[in-house]
Amino acid sequence: MSPALIHPPGFDGSWLKRYRPVTAPRLRLFCLPYAGGTAGAFHGWAHALPADVELVAVQYPGRQDRLEEPCVAEMDPLADRITEALAPLLDRPFALFGHSMGAAVAYEVALRLEASHRARPRHLFVSGHPSPLRPRSHTDVHLRDEDAMLEWFGELGAMDPAVLADPELRPLVVPSLRADLRLIETYRPAAGRPVHAPMTSYVGDADPGVPPDDAAAWKELTSGEFSFRVFPGGHFYLSDQETEVLADLTERLGGAPA
């Protein structure tokens, strides 16, 4: 086995995916996917980041290689388990990036890392999600029947129409979608719990569920420096603006793009 492929002691390969392992990274970027998403959403990023930055993507239970495991439908146990999985990788400076549901999970993980491990992220990136302190625009989608729930995801641009129309694929994606929706729709953060890490909030200018003011309100949840940037696009602006997003992210992490 190549030395670059050797995992650190205690590394949990079910929770964490290293698509381009780096032997001695300057920094690790921990990435948390959106509702219904997988670690594979960040596969391409691993090769676009600077050579000395290692991307580590989180794989939630109940999808892909963890399909047989029960989904986690509450924030606290999910954030606790992710924090535990990341602990062996805290020997290097690190940052966190989360999109949509992943933004709220990244925030909760950052709180736990700072409180329990005295490990402050170099940066926390929250993308495509309103500040958890703002009122939610929806709270009942996870309670709707299957067709109505998938229709909502489709309108958001979060679902491939082919998946919606395929009766064989539906049973593979519906459980994780419903569990993730329940998690984020029932999530209520404790008031007055800012992280100390610098934070950047990203949002698409045409995101139907995240008004720019709500995305900018993340400023209330950090005692560090805060920055805010709006990109062209909807909820999944990341797909079309990947180069620009990674360039901005890399600059804030103090490196040059690959």
Q: Which residues are catalytic?
A: 100
Strand partners, 56: 30
**Distance, CA of 35 to CA of 30 (rounded, Å):** 17
